Structure 1
Amino acid sequence: MPKCETCGNDYDKAFQVVVKGETHTFDSFECAIQALAPTCKTCGTRVLGHGLEAGGNIYCCNHCAGRDGVTELTDRS
């Protein structure tokens, strides 16, 4: 059975995600998010949507970007 790279669970319904040509195997979306989702530079929250990006940093929201001194944002789409 495929083995989840986050938790190590052997699961017959595991799935694969390809990121930048690298294949990852997970048993749940929760494990995939833990392994692959970026984190907000300010608060450390996992960014599950587009988030906000400025200066090569990812933020979960405008408030966190502002706390980091960012006043002009680019939505990553």
Structure 2
Amino acid sequence: MGVCEVCGNKYDKTFEVRLAGDSAAHTFDSFECAIHALAPTCDHCGVRIVGHGLEAKGGVFCCAHCAEQMGISSLQDRTQESVQ
């Protein structure tokens, strides 16, 4: 029976996650605990980035607004295309 490295729960359905370049496996009992431990945080607001996020000038951001607040104006959350 595995033990979650975040909450310490002993659970028969734990899973392991290996990050690229890291030989050690992380053991979790839920995706919630895995996100808490491994998801990057926005350099501006600190929210956990569960999706793709945005990267620029060595920073990681949850959205273009947060990147702009840190002086990076070249990013967009989405593009606008004309719809007919």
TM-score normalised over the length of structure 1: 0.90
- What is the CA deviation profile of residues 9-52 of structure 1, one whole-angstrom value per residue up to 9, with x for unaligned ones? 00001000111332100000000000000000000000011100
- Give the count of matched residue pairs: 75
If each structure's strand is expressed as a fraction of its own residues, which one has the higher value?
1
The aligned amino acid for 1:31 is: C
CA distance in 1, matches of 2:69, 2:58: 16
Structure 2: which 5+ runs fail to align? 77-84
Residues 25-64 of structure 1: pairs in structure 2 closer than 5 A: 25-64=27-66
Q: CA RMSD in A?
A: 1.6
Structure 1: which 5+ runs fail to align? none
| Partner residue, 1:19 | 19
TM-score normalised over the length of structure 2: 0.83
Identity of aligned residues (%): 59
Deviation at 1:56, TM superposition (A): 1.2
Rg larger in structure: 2
CA distance in 2, matches of 1:22, 1:60: 27
Structure 1 residue ranges (4+ consecutive) displaced by more than 2 angstroms after TM superposition: none
